[in-house]
Structure 1
Amino acid sequence: MISIMRRLLTYKDVFNVGKSRTHYVLIAKIKKKMTMLSHPNLYLQDIGSSIPTSNKYSNIISMFYRYLSCLDKYCDVPVSGYHSLVDNQDIKSWQIQRETDRVAKQASSPSTATILDDAKIVYKFFEWLSKKGYKSCVNFQYTTWRPNFKDEQLLAHIKTRALKTLDGRGVRALDRENNQGKSYTLPTNHEMKSLILGYHDPVYAAMFKLSLGTAMRPMELCEFPYIGSGKNSHILPFESMQKQDGTVEYHMVGKGEKSRKIVINVLDLKALDDHYIQKCYGHRTGLYEKRFGKPCPPSILFLTSRGIPVTSKMISRRTVDARKRARDKDSSIRAAVRFYDARHWWPTIFLIKRFDKALLGQMSEVRDAAAMQVLKNQMGHTHLITTYNHYLDLARVVMLAHEGFVQELVSKPSETIEEYLESPKLL
């Protein structure tokens, strides 16, 4: 199997003066020879989007290329020419091999749904190549690239190839186990508090709380400044900030380069100042200067204990560690609790606050253009109706389970996120 390295590349965009592009590139290493995988790299450049998306797509494509290198068909083919020989059967057999490996390990992940979704990304890559005039053997008129994992013969074949005993769990049993671990409701106060306590570095706890109060994505939190500029020039150290109202507006550019204006509770900014900025920020900016040879710019707020700016990948990794520590102490905490649940928490509680028991009535009773606009602004979603209906459903589940406890979030809230988490009322 060949080795494929992934590197994050940043360079000036020749088509947009003054702007730069950042995305992952794939580099194959065969013995001592390094080969840039030009066709995947052109695709990763073209799709743009966010760094997390580029990270995901590059990882999936590299997995597929490593699988191809193990097939006899590609034995004498240079890695730069793999794309021209790939056909539907290759994409299909890759999925079957991943299922086989999973059954052999008796693992619940990657689930069948994940395997199929990853294959769709590979399929889209070859579809892009075709549109750009690069030839391959993939047929885009049929769905023969997708195996039928409901077929009994195929399931039996996978189990046989996995070389497990007769009582070993098969694909369906492993998928059921995977689905049982998924969270269909918001995390409880206890789960969120346990996750926060599980972080060794307080910067991640501070970011989680800020996400709870704002619905910002991890990548957006990483861009939140110590001192803002332009439209955000009012974002200052808490003691210097004007606080006549109960909320502060924050202008940001989020996923897909879409700009939006969100609302932040000033008391949550005070909690951020009390528990992270005053205790950690000054020391960490000193470590930043030692490491990078220049003062930490005011546009950077969240730094690790080593003075390194926090990234969304760091948030993901540290959350996995924090959740493990929390579950080691309390096995009732669900394995599906994620950092991203904080983003879903805000709109759900907002709708509960706005509509209360009306959520349990007819849909027409909660069709509110003003509420839709608030969610659109705070969440930054394009498909307004779809987003609104999703959080209405989630809010109904919470209402039915927890008797409609309401938390003010938008208009002069009475409690900070921290105070809410300490309250005896459980979500």
Structure 2
Amino acid sequence: MIRITKKYVEYVPAESLKKVAHYILIYEGKKASVLLSHVNLFLYSNTRSSQKTSSRYASIISMFYRHLSTTEDFQSVAPSQYHLFARNKHVKRWQSAREMERVAEDSASPTSETIFGEAKLLMNYFRWLGDAGFTPGVEVKLKSWIPPYRSSRYQAYIGLRAKQVMDTTSIDVLDRQGQQQSAIRSLITPHEISQLATNYSDPVYAVMLIFAVATAMRPMDLCRFPYYGNSANAHIGPFSSMDFTEPNVNYTVYNSKGRKTRTILVHQDALRDVEESYIKPLYATRAKKYKDNHGEEPPLSLLFLTKDGHPVTPDRIAQRTTAAKKKALKLNPSLRANLRFYDARDWWPTQYLIRNFGEEIFNNDGLFNLAVAQVLQNQMGHEFLRTTFDHYVDLSRVILTMHKRRSIEIFRAADLSANKFIQAVGTLDETMIPDMVA
């Protein structure tokens, strides 16, 4: 299988004189690295407005190209020419190959819906090639091929090719499991947070997970958190260099999801944890490696670096969290397979509501508070005020219901940091998890 590198680039094209940014794909050959020009033109043309969208398209096309490289039809074809020789049958075979791999691993993901959805996104690439006059080999039709997952003959074929002796309804069963896991988002427990944190191969991701718990920031925002801030964030720096008059400080998040700017609260305990767990023991060594890699000191706007001295990115967070989860599952098979780094965001709004309302949160009449709801909306970056408020009120009720006898301890923890709030809550009753729908 060929190796393809996905890289995020920022530059100013001559025709527009405006800075753009998007992912590009690079084929890493034995003798040279080759830009996949047609793919990169598509990514520039269609995905430069959203880093997440650009990353997704780049990953899907890379996945498809790597699959093609394993087939007999493409052994003598250069990856830069794959778009000319790929046919609709190859897209179909790629979908089936992903299904075979999933069945062979007895995994609930990717679901059949995900496989089909990503194939449709791939077809957007070939459609763009045609519209741009590059005459791709794949013919884009109004109706894309849908694998006959419900067919017993097709399921038997997948099971046989996956070299597994299993019930031919396995695809349907795995799909139902995947759909259930996607539909039910449970509040991540303190035990699950600990399991993920201790199984990261690089401690920076554990630090960022706990920081997400304490601030509810998205991965994209965490990756841009500064060592020393400027402008509206000029007061932000390592904990020991800051002056605090209140438990929380304001932090302005720029260019977040939807390119929005908002101001959130960051507790001083969260900043202390970052300094004690990351800045003091790890940052200097990583900054030196960054300089070795880039020929200059890391900018003060960049705090979180990998052990190899590279900036942490949302993609790296997702990849390392998946690896940590797989490692944790081997040690504890009862761990939920659908855990995500993103789930850490739910703890901050939960403790904030408990701090504001206490046991009044069980009152269904007149609970809505506009000021509290606006703080929640700013912290989470959600668009719908009332929906955000009601959603986290429900989660807060679950916690207090499960820990009724310890409510005073939880209230005290809510007056401190989100991290200490989790410590007070302790490991949640596993039998209650299905009821904690997020």
TM-score using structure 2 length: 0.77
Distance change >3 Å, CA 22–CA 228, structure 1 → 2: same
Does the aligned pair in 1 maintain the 2:414–2:421 contact within 8 Å? no
| Aligned residue in 2 for 1:273 | 275
Offset at residue 8 of structure 1 (A): 1.4
Deviation (angstroms), 1:47: 0.6
Residues 299 and 90 (structure 1), Cα distance of their counterparts in 2 relative to 1, 3 Å cut: same
Counterpart AA for 1:125: Y
- For residues 66-215 of structure 1, what are the structure 2 equivalents within 5 Å? 66-68=66-68, 83=83, 90-129=90-129, 138-142=139-143, 144-165=144-165, 167=167, 170-178=170-178, 184-199=185-200, 201-215=202-216
Question: Partners in 1 of 2:75 and 2:198 — Cα distance?
Answer: 51
Letter of the aligned partner of 1:336 in structure 2? N
Secondary structure of the structure 1 residue equivalent to 2:149 = coil
Counterparts of 1:135 and 1:367 in 2: how far apart (Å)?
A: 57
Query: How much has 1:383 moved relative to structure 2?
Result: 5.6
Match of residue 339 from structure 2: 337
Aligned-pair CA distance for 1:339? 2.2
Indicate how the Cα distance of structure 1 residues 228 and 77 shifts in structure 2: closer, same or farther if over 3 A, else same: closer
Q: Deviations over 1:329-383 (max 9, x none)?
A: 5554334333222123323444455566676676x85655444433332222446
Asked if structure 2 preserves the Cα contact closer than 8 Å seen for 1:359 and 1:392, the reply is yes
CA shift for structure 1 position 212: 0.7
**What SS class does the counterpart of residue 251 from structure 1 fall into?**
strand
Aligned-partner Cα distance in 1 for 2:353–2:106: 41
Residue matched to 2:12: 13
Q: Secondary structure at the residue paired with 1:145? A: coil
Give the aligned partner of residue 227 of structure 2.
Answer: 226
Confirm or deny: 8 A CA contact 2:4 2:66 kept in the other structure. Answer: no
Cα 1:155/1:202, change in 2 over 3 Å? closer
Q: In structure 2, do the counterparts of structure 1 residues 64 and 393 end up closer, same or farther at CA, with 3 Å as the change threshold?
A: farther
Cα separation, 1, equivalents of 2:116 and 2:279: 44
Task: Tell me the amino acid that sits aligned with residue 154 of structure 1.
Answer: Y
CA contact (8 A) 1:249 1:263 kept: yes
CA gap 1:78/1:5 in 2 versus in 1, 3 angstroms: closer
Does structure 1 residue 235 correspond to structure 2 residue 236?
yes
The number of aligned residues is: 421
Which moves more between the two structures, 173-182 or 237-246?
173-182
2:435 corresponds to = none
Partners of 1:351 and 1:395 within 8 A in 2: yes
Whole-Å Cα distance in 2 between the matches of residues 425 and 99 of structure 1? 39
| Rounded Cα–Cα distance in structure 1 between residues aligned with 2:42 and 2:362 | 46
RMSD: 4.1
Instruction: Indicate the SS of the match to 2:109.
Output: coil
| 2:277 counterpart SS class | helix
Q: Secondary structure of 2:264's match?
A: strand
Could you say what secondary structure the match of 2:250 adopts?
A: strand
Q: Which residue of 2 aligns with 1:420?
A: 421
Relative distance call for 1:117 and 1:369 in structure 2 (3 A) is farther
Residue 43 of structure 2 corresponds to which residue in structure 1?
Answer: 44
CA distance in 2, matches of 1:167, 1:94: 23
Q: Give the CA deviation at 1:195.
A: 2.9
| Equivalent of 2:262 in 252, 260, 263 | 260
**Is residue 26–residue 40 contact of structure 1 (8 Å, CA) maintained in 2?**
no
Deviations 1:143-171 (A, max 9, x none): x4223423444334433444543557721
Deviation at 1:251, TM superposition (A): 1.3
After the TM superposition, which residues 393-412 of structure 1 pair with which residues of structure 2 at under 5 Å, given as runs?
394-395=395-396, 398=399, 401-403=402-404
Q: In 1, distance between residues paired with 2:269 and 2:78?
A: 59
The letter for the 2-side match of 1:147 is: P
Identity %: 37
Contact 1:408/1:415 (<8 A) preserved? no
The separation in 2 between residues aligned to 1:289 and 1:244, in whole angstroms, is 36
Does residue 54 of the first structure (1) align with residue 51 of the second (2)? no
